């Protein structure tokens, strides 16, 4: 496959410009998902928990701090946003799931992005197949492993927020309301990079994931699902189940690696911002920041 075909292009929401993503492990992803030998390696090793766990152990060690300055410089991260001084981190992982200073991510009105990342938005779940490989459909029953729940969200809207390794990796509630308990679903650890997803959106139905229901005050029952991936050692929940939460309040964080949050909405409850739908229709993800408005309740 041509390198240009595999390049990850996205739209910068602030400027409207099409930009090219700098992908850690770019060559490895091409090898794993687009060559015969790579797919054999993927099945035998990379998707396995022990591979991800082993990498997680390495970046939890103090010696991994030596990679932090180069990572910050390479990805041009704003250290002024960090709650900790970069010298205070205890490992690369500690840096990776860093907290930000209060006010670094203003929380707007309406439906807001639960995380920093790049977003795909679908007015109806069935529209997702247009973005991915032809005939490669998103199966909500396979994704949720619950027929009753799948029926509830069938025909509703879907938003996918992809977090790259350089992104802020704490996730937050997209709306205010009453939140329930977390439900884990066992799975593998495939990459959620567009290089992998363009090949198979079914990765979402194969990876380890956790979901809960947020009974929002004005947008119905929002299903929020965190999806693990290669090198994501853990999905850690910091919220209190069966409690009232506010829009923008922290829900949890991902340990090292790229990862994804999927939001599902009941039919007729949410109006997604037009620019996000249009960009997705044209085949592009769009950059968003946590707390940034991405939709509104249907009046």
Q: Which of 94, 116, 167, 221 is catalytic?
A: 116
Residue 20: CB atoms within 10 A of its CB come to 9
The residues, any chain, with a CB within 8 Å of residue 155's CB and separated by 6 or more, are 124, 125, 126, 267
- Confirm whether 193 is a catalytic residue: no
List the catalytic residue out of 64, 157, 193, 259: 259
Tell whether the model's pLDDT for residue 196 goes beyond 60: no
> Which pLDDT belongs to residue 197?
54
Average pLDDT of the segment spanning 37-52: 43
Q: Express each pLDDT in 52-95 by its tens digit.
A: 455 556 778 888 899 899 989 988 999 999 999 999 999 988 99
DSSP state for residue 6 in the 8-state scheme: H
Cα distances from 92 to residues 56, 81, 137, in angstroms, run 10, 17, 36
Q: Strand, coil or helix: what is 239?
A: coil
Catalytic residue selected from 172, 216, 234, 273: 172
CA distance 127 to 212: 24
Answer yes or no: 85 catalytic: no
**How do beta strands 285-288 and 9-11 pair?**
parallel
Tens-digit pLDDT profile for residues 253-290: 998 766 889 999 999 999 999 999 999 999 899 999 99
First to last CA, the chain: 46
* Whether residue 98 has pLDDT greater than 90: yes
Active site (annotated) includes residue 259:
yes
Whether residue 174 is predicted with pLDDT greater than 60 in this model: the reply is yes
């Amino acid at each position: 496959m041509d390198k240009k075909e595999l390049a990850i292009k996205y739209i910068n929401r602030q400027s409207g410009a099409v930009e090219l993503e700098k992908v850690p492990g770019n060559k490895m992803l091409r090898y794993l998902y687009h060559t015969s030998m790579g797919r054999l390696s993927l099945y035998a090793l990379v998707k396995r928990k022990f591979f991800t766990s082993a990498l997680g152990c390495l970046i939890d060690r103090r010696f991994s701090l030596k990679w932090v300055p180069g990572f910050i410089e390479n990805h041009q991260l704003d250290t002024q946003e960090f709650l900790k001084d970069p010298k205070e981190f205890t490992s690369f992982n500690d840096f990776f799931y860093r907290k930000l200073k209060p006010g670094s991510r203003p929380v707007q009105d309406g439906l807001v992005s639960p995380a920093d990342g790049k977003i795909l938005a679908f007015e109806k779940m069935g529209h997702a197949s247009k973005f991915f490989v032809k005939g490669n459909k998103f199966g909500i029953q396979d994704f949720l492993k619950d027929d009753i729940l799948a029926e509830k969200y069938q025909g509703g809207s879907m938003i996918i927020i992809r977090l790259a390794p350089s992104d802020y990796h704490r996730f937050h509630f997209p709306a205010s309301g009453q939140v329930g308990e977390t439900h884990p679903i066992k799975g593998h650890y495939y990459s959620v990079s567009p290089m992998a997803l363009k090949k198979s959106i079914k990765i979402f139905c194969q990876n380890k994931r956790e979901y809960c229901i947020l009974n929002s005050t004005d947008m119905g029952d929002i299903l929020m699902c965190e999806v693990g991936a290669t090198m994501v050692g853990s999905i850690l929940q910091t919220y209190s189940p069966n409690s009232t939460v506010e829009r923008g309040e922290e829900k949890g964080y991902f340990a090292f690696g790229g990862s994804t949050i999927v939001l599902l909405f009941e039919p007729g409850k949410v109006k997604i911002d037009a620019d996000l739908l249009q960009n997705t229709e044209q085949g592009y993800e769009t950059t968003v920041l946590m707390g940034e408005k991405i939709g509104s309740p249907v009046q």
